[in-house]
Amino acid sequence: MIQELFKSFELGKLQLKNRIVMAPMTRSFSPGHVPNQKNIEYYRRRAVNGVGLIITEGTCVGHKAANGYPNVPFFYGEEALAGWQRVVDAVHAEGGKIIPQLWHVGGVRKDCLQPDESVPAYSPSGLLSPNKSNGIAMSQQDIEEVKQAFIEAAINAQKMGFDGIELHGAHGYLLDQFFWEKTNLRDDEYGGGLVSRTNFVVEVIRDIKTETGGDFPLVLRFSQWKLQNYASKLAQTPTELEQFLQPLADAGVDIFHCSTRRFWEPEFEGSDLNLAGWTKKLTGKPTITVGGVGLDGGFVDEEKRGMISHAGVATEQFELIEKALAGSDYDLVAVGRCLLQDPQWVHKLKAEAFSEMQAYTVESLKTLY
């Protein structure tokens, strides 16, 4: 019987009716980078169907090089913020909770993208990936400008009534590029060893907390893997992971969102704990696990970034999740593709109506429903 997933969760003012989180998923359905009525209904539909916490798709902060993809929503500017206000109001009207994911793509940015097509990529050392140049290395002034963009986005989120924020510090985008030794070759206070490479993000977190207060939840999404290298690891051992996480926890992270490709895989030899389990054990902070939840089927083509063409419902996974939640290995469970395909997935899970769940297909990526 599925019980643990439907227990409430509280962290200060953040009170969730269950442990199910909608994972952030880039959709590229915001022409002009402004949330529209389709976006509003997309999020409202998940709220009315029982998702405990919605994390929005990545939203670009107000820096000239933050954007890396067409038609993704911005989180700055009067028109875009008005669109997000309508989103948060719609979700709250249905009794849901929602936080925006704040995003800067860093070295991933290509030329000819809005808002100014002449702006190159900005990153710690002018690299897209190891030994592959793209754009420019950030100056101290650039660092301050990007920091301010994140702070302003967080302040706006709080003013608009969002239930917290998430910083996108995973998958090889800007914040993660500071973390990673192969894309951060700086010799100032933002480069160097594993701990020193957290300094930029630590400053962002501290400044946001100063402006928004201690009771406005801040989630940090991080990953060991990158879009450029699925096998990479920031931390090779639990000791290294603790060294990496502790400055971030001390700076004010309230929840760590631990991005893995398969949540059931142990992170280190000698323990069954996954990344979220180790992160909670080492920091004492609540954690979100994520990675293939509910999907029955493997990643059939590593060269195509793990895209799977079809996956059924993996009911046996919920036994693992229930056991982990009961043992307090982690606290929340993020679901991506299943919720993309089937907005009523949470209600069906609660009723254990597995046969009624819609199996994920890539066709669901082509529409916003």
Are 260 and 223 within 8 A, CB to CB?
yes
Phi, psi of 65 (to 5 degrees): -115, 15
Counted domains in the chain: 1
Q: Any idea which residues carry the catalytic annotation?
A: 173
Share of the chain above pLDDT 70, in %: 95
Which pLDDT does position 170 carry in this prediction? Answer: 97
In three-state secondary structure terms, 123 is strand
Q: What is the mean pLDDT of residues 5-11?
A: 98
User: Based on C-alpha coordinates, what's the Rg of the chain?
Assistant: 19
Burial of 74 (0-12, 13-18, 19+ CB in 10 A): buried
Q: What CATH number corresponds to the domain at position 253?
A: 3.20.20.70
Domain that holds residue 307: 4-366
Encode pLDDT of 157-216 as tens digits.
Answer: 999 999 999 999 999 999 999 999 999 999 999 999 999 999 999 999 999 999 999 999
pLDDT tens-digit readout, 26-37: 999 999 999 999
What's residue 297's pLDDT? 58
pLDDT confidence band for 115 (50 / 70 / 90)? confident
Give the tens place of pLDDT for each residue, 62-99. Answer: 999 999 999 999 999 999 999 999 999 999 999 999 99
Read off the pLDDT of each residue in 142-157 and give the average, rounded to a whole number: 98
Contacts of 14 (CB under 8 A, 6+ apart): 53, 97, 163, 164, 217
